[in-house]
Amino acid sequence: MKNKCVSISICAISMLSCTAINAKIIDQDNERFIIKLNSSYVSSELSKKQYFHNNTLEAKATILSRFAKQTGVSVTKKLPLQDALVAYLKSSELKVLKENPHIKFIEADPKRYLQSESIPYGISLIQADQLPDVGAANRKVCIMDTGYTLGHPDLPHANISGDDGYGEFDTGNWFEDGHGHGTHVAGTIAAIGGNDIGVVGVNPSAELGLHIVKVFDSQGSWTYGSTIAEAVYQCAAAGANIINMSLGGNKPSELEREAFNTTYQQGVLHIAAAGNSGFSNHHYPASYGDVVSVAAVDEQGVKASFSTYNDQVEVAAPGVKVNSTTKNGRYGEMSGTSMATPHVSGAAALLWGYYPDCTNQQIREALQVTALDKGPVGRDNEYGFGVIQVLAAKHYLAQQTCEQPVGLPLADFSYSSNLLELTFSDESTDNDAIVSHHWAFGDGSHSSQQNPIHIYEKEGTYMVRLVVTDSEGHRALKIKSVNVDDGIAPICDDRPQWQQDKHYRIGDKVKYLDKKYTAIHWGMGATPDVFTHVWRFDGPCDASTTNSL
């Protein structure tokens, strides 16, 4: 089977707001500084005869101008009340001025911003502004996209994990976004509220878990269907309840379809962009049966002209001129079903946080039956069931009984290790007989045995996947990260290997990539070499020791 190409350009029509450029061109090597003069120097100058008949402030302004001329400084602003001036300085100029005895201090002139935040129209249109995200900490959304701007002041920086995907090319660090599309999507889902800056997301408490899979590089042009299929399992392994896919392409893939079907049965809710063709073609992965297909509407709730329509469109959400976070700590507007999709993913997380015992299917149905009907009465190909209404969905589920299903298989396994040789033990359960096992060991090897033994070629961390099928054809999935050690690498003072799915407390010690770290903040999924606010680097491991799991 040929790999299918998935294009991000189909899902986003960029309408980033332009940033005005100051007409005064400043050398990029220059920085803006405040130069404060010594009061004794200013007083001495004021005592000179030429200033006797001047107003004091006028005299000080003249003194500041003369000082600037003498020192070769091009003045931007004079502050005679404070005996100071403002100027753009090159590093060489700054060095000279710091030696001037008439200067009390020189400091960078810090920027200040309006302390206000706005609520994008989409948040109100789907009723998310009427429902606090009190259960956000119990849910996790996986975002497959161009990455995540970890340092953005309006985005969460805790409870975030990620990976750069499984593509044939290096997409870069997941916590960086050279394109901006993924950061825009993340802002709609989880931009922080109440901080007086920027925008507000559907889940504004900064407590929602996020897992980022960077399947696109900074160009954001395309990736393969096989890459998306593998990323689906990675999202599931990270404990994601919801997968947001603001991406797609025109051709289906059986491998991709299988990944969505398997993880949907395991309880993951998949949500994807319907497409931006403006025609009635099918778009994948949105048009798979186990994926929610999202159309786009504007601020008035009218279908966007670019929004793809077909028999698989399930719901609609705001997707025209959506304001959200972008790269480099900025904000901007984008349009596309890419922008509608995170409204639905965020709403699903918000709703599910209130009713964690509900299944993915029950959350999906609640969003369907409570959607604001548009177009012809009932479901139609342009709006699906209508524009989602998360508060109405909450009221609907309050009248239902959400219980986890019984009678379905539950996959699980344990393992023991002897250096590179690992013995896996199936611990899956079911009311009916489990008739098949399929293991994927994370290194390209597979097995259909119930309790296989596998020998890895080299040490590392591998993602092992077990899929079991019972006699009625129901399947279940379990994924675990397995640490394999060849016994040669250092053991780092007997520190255990860092694990992505483990909760760490302050003081916990781990090893990671042959380096020692100590937790200085609680967290889970925070990679030690990236999250320096969570982990303190304690130095390299002692190469003279030997390793054991």
- With vertex at residue 423, the alpha carbon angle to CA 464 and CA 441, rounded to the nearest 5 degrees, is 20
Residue the block writes with tokens 């009340």: 81
119 contacts 343 by C-beta, under 8 angstroms: no
Residue 145's CB is within 10 A of a number of other CB atoms, namely: 31
CA distances from 150 to 234, 318, 346, 525 (A): 20, 25, 19, 14
- Contact by Cβ (8 Å): 296, 318: yes
Q: Is 338 a catalytic residue?
A: yes
Strand partners, 526: none
Q: Of the candidates 309, 303, 318, which has an alpha carbon nearest to the alpha carbon of residue 277?
A: 309
Residues 106 and 173: beta-carbon distance below 8 Å: no
φ, ψ dihedrals at 485, nearest 5°: -125, 135
Three-state DSSP class for residue 337? helix
**Residue among 83, 129, 133, 145 flagged as catalytic:** 145
Query: What is the 3-state secondary structure of 214-274?
Result: ECCCCCCCEEEHHHHHHHHHHHHHCCCCEEEECCEECCCCHHHHHHHHHHHHCCCEEEEEC
Strands 446-447 and 242-245: unpaired
Contact 150, 160 (CB under 8 A): yes
Q: Would residue 181 show up in a list of annotated catalytic residues for this protein?
A: yes
Q: Select which of 152, 181, 283, 343 is catalytic.
A: 181
Catalytic residue (choose from 226, 338, 345, 428): 338
CA angle 286, 288, 293 (to 5 degrees): 30
Asked if residue 411 lies in contact with residue 371, where contact means CB atoms within 8 angstroms, the answer is: no
Q: Look at the alpha carbons of 454, 455, 456, 457 in this order and tell me if their dihedral is positive or negative.
A: negative
Cα-based distances in Å from 388 to 312, 345, 355, 369: 16, 11, 17, 9
Cα–Cα distance between 184 and 425 in angstroms, integer?
Answer: 43
SS3 label, residue 161 = strand
217 is catalytic: no
Nearest CA to 301 out of 137, 70, 121, 480 is that of: 121
Query: Would you please indicate which residues are annotated as catalytic (active-site) residues?
Result: 145, 181, 338
